[in-house]
């Protein structure tokens, strides 16, 4: 008879096998042929965006299939709100990514002299390419971006909820609690972050987040994506572990996706995805790193979380 630990290990392996198999198979056999070599860096077609977004649902599909195959059932799925005494973690998930993204962008503009463009040159390039010249907009571009910034702060977590549910029910709603009792706090956060980053590898290899043609392509991009996923994964895991629910992670992931690119529109050339101003770059990521370190310390001090 298998012990609880053996059952958990087997479920994790089955889950990872299904999720990686579905995602990578989809990328190699469906996504790659359909995009015909089009890079995802810059301004991809709407159809390409939808094709990439479809990959976000495979972690959730992996949860469903794993629970059915292993006959685990659906008793503890980490989908309860658990709002009592946890409202602050929901607020952190909702607004934290926006605040940290703005701080990271500001730090980038301070350190990289001449990178800030108050006229939003990069935004103008995007509009021109899309066939909507800036002159057609009845107010300045920087005003438009400020409006979008406010909207992203307030609405992005809800607007991105469905697609981010596809990922977070898998990573923070299934993998995280399954591995929580097998690993100490620091290894747990590092391992789940690296797994999340490597899962993105087929998308990174076609330009997602870091473009193409850089030194060490695509391996340096994949490595950077792993770092990004470790840091963001700590943030999302923290609010999940504190609430025993993946719903705050879904909201936080939606916030990151909705506001992460706001800084690049205040540049002339879109910045450098490895540096900033977006949080995928090392400078843009610094505020998230600082908060992530604080979160790790808090979890290590939490008696409910295994110490490493």
pLDDT tens for each residue of 108-129: 999 999 999 988 888 888 777 7
Residue among 304, 158, 155, 285 at smallest CA distance from 225: 285
pLDDT 10s digits, 274-284: 999 999 999 99
Nearest to 135 by CA among 148, 146, 123, 118: 123
HEC string of 227-258?
HHHHHHHHHHHHHHHHHCCCHHHHHHHHHHHH
Q: How many residues does the chain have?
A: 308
Residue 45: per-residue pLDDT: 60
**Cα–Cα nearest to 168, from 290, 62, 43, 40:** 62
CB 71 within 8 A of CB 11: no
Question: Does 124 sit behind a cis peptide bond, omega within 30 degrees of 0 on the bond before it?
Answer: no
| Domain boundaries of the chain, sorted by first residue | 4-301
What are the Cα distances from residue 234, in Å, to 167, 193, 252?
A: 15, 8, 11
pLDDT for residue 6 is more than 90: no
Q: How far apart are the first and last CA of the chain?
A: 29
**Between these two residues, 138 and 25, which has the higher pLDDT value?**
25
Buried-state track 62-89, b at ≥16 Cβ within 10 A, e below 16: bbeebbeeeebeeeebbeeebeeebeeb
pLDDT tens-digit series, residues 128-143: 776 666 566 666 777 8
Read off the pLDDT of residues 28-41 as tens digits, 9 standing for 90 and up. Answer: 998 888 776 544 44
Whole-angstrom CA distances from 71 to 51, 64, 219, 245, 276 are 31, 10, 38, 22, 45
Q: Are 239 and 92 in contact (CB under 8 A)?
A: yes
3-class secondary-structure state, position 160:
coil
- Using alpha carbons, list the distances in angstroms from residue 179 to 80, 170, 188, 238, 256: 20, 12, 7, 14, 24
Bridge partners of residue 276, in order along the sequence: 272
Instruction: Render pLDDT for 235-263 as a digit per residue (tens, 0 to 9).
Output: 999 999 999 999 999 999 999 999 999 99
Chain segment 259-296, per-residue pLDDT in tens? 999 999 999 899 999 999 999 999 999 999 999 999 99
């Amino acid at each position: 008879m298998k012990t609880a630990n053996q059952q958990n290990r087997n479920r994790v392996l089955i889950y990872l096998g299904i999720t990686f198999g579905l995602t990578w198979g989809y990328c190699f056999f469906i996504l790659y042929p359909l995009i015909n070599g089009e890079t995802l860096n810059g301004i991809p077609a709407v159809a390409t965006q939808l094709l990439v977004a479809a990959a976000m649902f495979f972690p959730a599909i992996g949860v469903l299939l794993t629970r059915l195959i292993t006959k685990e059932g659906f008793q503890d799925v980490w989908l309860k709100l658990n709002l009592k005494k946890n409202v602050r973690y929901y607020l952190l998930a909702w607004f934290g990514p926006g605040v940290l993204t703005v701080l990271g962008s500001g730090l980038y503009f301070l350190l990289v002299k001449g990178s800030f463009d108050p006229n939003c040159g990069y935004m103008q390039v995007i509009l021109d390419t899309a066939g909507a010249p800036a002159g057609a907009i009845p107010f300045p571009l920087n005003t438009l971006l400020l409006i979008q910034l406010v909207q992203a702060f307030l609405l992005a977590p809800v607007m991105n909820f469905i697609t981010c549910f596809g990922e977070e029910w898998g990573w923070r709603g299934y993998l995280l609690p399954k591995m929580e009792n097998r690993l100490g706090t620091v290894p747990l956060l590092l391992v789940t972050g690296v797994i999340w980053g490597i899962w993105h590898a087929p998308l990174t290899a076609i330009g997602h987040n870091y473009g193409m043609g850089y030194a060490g392509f695509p391996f340096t991009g994949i490595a950077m994506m792993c770092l990004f996923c470790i840091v963001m994964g700590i943030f999302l895991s923290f609010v999940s572990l504190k609430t025993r629910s993946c719903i705050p992670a879904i909201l936080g992931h939606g916030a990151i996706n909705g506001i992460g690119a706001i800084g690049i529109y205040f540049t002339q050339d879109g910045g450098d995805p490895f540096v900033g101003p977006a949080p995928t770059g090392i400078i843009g990521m610094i505020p998230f790193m600082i908060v992530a370190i604080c979160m790790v310390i808090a979890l290590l001090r939490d008696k409910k979380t295994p110490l490493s």
